[in-house]
Amino acid sequence: MDLAAATAEKAGAYIASAAMPLDPQEWDTKGASDFVTAVDRESEELIAEMLLAAEPNSAVLGEELTGDLSPGKHPSDLLWIVDPLDGTTNYLHHYPAYAVSIAAVVQGSIVAGAVYHIENRESFTAAAGHGAWNGSTRLRVSATSNPKHSLIGTGFPFKSVELIPRYLEQFSKILEATSGVRRAGAAALDLVDVALGRFEGFWELQLAPWDVAAGTLLIREAGGNVTSIDGSTEVLRHGSLVAGNSAIHSWLLEILNV
């Protein structure tokens, strides 16, 4: 946990100090409205260098440089799952919701994680069995159990436009039944908000392991639940994610599967 947190903070400091690529001609496109810059890549290189120097027998799975989840691709006992800049589009538009996310996985289980909110210079950390923390403050999910009083986070399926009709049906149902829905565009920070109790729940139809690994542990260690829409606890894959306190997580699964 300490290594993940120190590495995320150093990468965050690099991103904060880097010359932002203001010209859209410098933004490489991975897909529709899905951008990557030299800052993303250099952040991941810095992260990999730090992690592997400290744990030379580990492996790094990152969004930009080493994004292969194939079985046997990373035989190391310790695998780091890294998002070097979650919320790149926000970063490029000076919208202050972007972060570095690092999780440690041993034999398929997330054992430690850190999310560093770059603009706020805040670090959120968790270790399996030892809680989730913001400095010396322990994180707890919200105790609100009534959907009418709940604020729900979400993410749009902008990379998979074929999912938009399904998503809009879900959005309509949840918007009508809750006190509101929010979308900031950085899944790692959305999951932090669930762990902090700011959001009672969160759902998204298409995420990657590096989007959710650290945030998943934060929520679970803060007393919440994280699954796919089909209820599976195996979330280190490309697909859906549903999170929240116990009551709202169950309610979301019910309404999303109607």
List the domains of the chain with CATH numbers. Answer: 2-138 (3.30.540.10), 147-256 (3.40.190.80)
Kindly tell me if the per-residue pLDDT of 108 is higher than 70.
Answer: yes
Residues forming a β-bridge with 60: 80
Q: Which two tokens stand for residue 54?
A: 């400290």
* Alpha-carbon span 152 to 104, nearest angstrom: 27
Of all residues in the chain, the percent with pLDDT exceeding 70 is 89
Kindly tell me if the per-residue pLDDT of 68 is higher than 90.
Answer: no
pLDDT of residue 65: 65
b/e burial code for range 220-247 (CB count within 10 A of at least 16 → b): bbbbbbbbbbeeeeebbeebbbbbbbeb
Kindly tell me if the per-residue pLDDT of 71 is higher than 50.
Answer: no
Strand order across the 78-86 sheet: 59-62, 78-86, 99-106, 109-117, 122-127, 132-134, 137-138
Q: Could you read off the pLDDT of 118-168 as tens digits, one per residue?
A: 999 999 999 999 999 999 999 999 999 999 999 999 999 988 889 999 999
Contact by Cβ (8 Å): 244, 202: yes
* pTM exceeding 0.75: yes
* Alpha-carbon span 31 to 26, nearest angstrom: 15
Angle at 91 between CA 90 and CA 92, to 5 degrees: 90
Contact by Cβ (8 Å): 216, 235: yes
pLDDT of residue 33: 45
Kindly tell me if the per-residue pLDDT of 21 is higher than 80.
Answer: no
Nearest 10 degrees: Cα torsion 115, 195, 182, 178? 170
Amino acid at 199: F
Angle at 195 between CA 122 and CA 148, to 5 degrees: 125
b/e burial code for range 23-48 (CB count within 10 A of at least 16 → b): eeeeeeeeeeeebbbebbbbbbbbbb
- 66 in helix, strand or coil? coil
Of 74, 100, 77, 79, the C-alpha closest to 88 is 100
Q: Could you read off the pLDDT of 177-216 as tens digits, one per residue?
A: 999 999 999 999 999 999 999 999 999 999 999 999 999 9
Kindly tell me if the per-residue pLDDT of 230 is higher than 60.
Answer: yes
pLDDT of residue 252: 98
Kindly tell me if the per-residue pLDDT of 26 is higher than 70.
Answer: no
Of 77, 157, 64, 156, the C-alpha closest to 111 is 77
Contact by Cβ (8 Å): 28, 37: yes
Q: What is the 3-state secondary structure (H, E, C) of 121-152?
A: CEEEEEECCCCEEECCEECCCCCCCCHHHCEE
pLDDT of residue 199: 98
Please classify residue 55 by burial: count the beta carbons closer than 10 Å to its beta carbon, then call 0-12 exposed, 13-18 middle and 19+ buried: middle
Average pLDDT over every residue of 17-34: 62
- Strand ranges in 27-73 using DSSP code E only, listed in sequence order: 28-31, 34-36, 59-62
pLDDT of residue 25: 66
